[in-house]
Amino acid sequence: MRRFFTSDRIIFPVLILNILVLFLLSFGSLKAYFPILETIDLSCTLFFLVEALIKIRMYKWRGYISSNWNKLDFLIVLLTTPSLLILFLPIPDFTFLLVLRTVRVAKFFRFLQFVPHLQDLLIGVGRALKASLFVLAGFFFYNLIVSLFTYYLFRDLAPKYFSNGFESFYIIFKIFTMEGWYEIPDAIAQNGAPWMSAATRIYFMLIVLTGGIFGFSIVNAIFVEEMISNENDELEERLIRVENKLDLLLKKLEEKEDK
């Protein structure tokens, strides 16, 4: 019984089944099957609750909660278990029922523990964020300066896009991502003089060039470099150890030849 509720070979398929059921519950065309799907979902929730209780009994509370993965599992169980109240209590408040159903999506986070080398990946992400912190801050302030300048420049010509500082900040960031950036200067150019049409397009082209192409490229380059730097450091350490062993071997060979 314990093996059934604690084996990853069982837990992983149950998790896949639960996610598939929640996916199917999003289709209104399958409303006739909702009672069956709801029953399966609640059964999966009950399964994860029993799993947590068995593990707590096996390892005791301190041993169980000492694992970070178990902390995540226990938090998910706490969030999703209230949805079992639907089986025993009539819940007239639709809003509360909707909250209970929405919280069930938290079970998706259990997938993280099945990702190989996730700990090393998270360490790499943390190191990359620290290394790129100043670059991200600089990028943020550059976005802020450009957005304020653009707001005061085009607030009368394009109030739809630059109605306030926040809207302007969002639009400039959107332009940096190069997602439909040309639509904004084209819309502004239609409301201005012919000379302003060309000037506006050149202005936004410079924004895309400096923030979208150069800015994002620099941030991505630094982030990726730091992500893989740990592997490079490990390779360097291995090479140094190999060199030391070779040097030691050569010394021994030379000593034998001298004798």
Q: What is the DSSP string of 142-200?
A: HHHHHHHHHHHHHTTT-TTT-SSHHHHHHHHHHHHTTSSTTHHHHHHHTTS-HHHHHHH
Q: Residues 208, 113: contact at Cβ < 8 Å?
A: no
pLDDT at 94: 47
pLDDT at 103: 64
CB contact burial 194-224 (16+ within 10 A = b; e otherwise):
eeebeebeebbeebbeebbeebeeeeeebbe
pLDDT at 22: 81
pLDDT at 92: 56
117: left (phi over 0), alpha (psi -120 to 50) or beta: left
Q: Residues 54, 60: contact at Cβ < 8 Å?
A: no
Tens-of-pLDDT digits for all 259 residues of the chain? 677 777 778 888 888 888 888 888 888 888 898 889 888 988 888 888 888 888 888 888 888 888 877 887 888 888 878 777 766 666 555 455 556 556 666 666 666 666 666 666 777 777 777 777 888 888 889 999 999 999 988 888 888 888 898 999 999 998 888 877 888 888 888 776 677 888 888 999 999 999 888 888 888 887 777 666 665 566 667 777 777 777 777 777 776 666 6
> Residues 6 or more apart from 144 whose CB is under 8 A from it?
169
pLDDT at 145: 92
Domains of the chain: 2-114 (1.20.120), 126-258 (1.10.287.70)
Torsion angles phi and psi, residue 106, rounded to 5: -60, -20
> Residues 6 or more apart from 51 whose CB is under 8 A from it?
5, 6, 11, 73
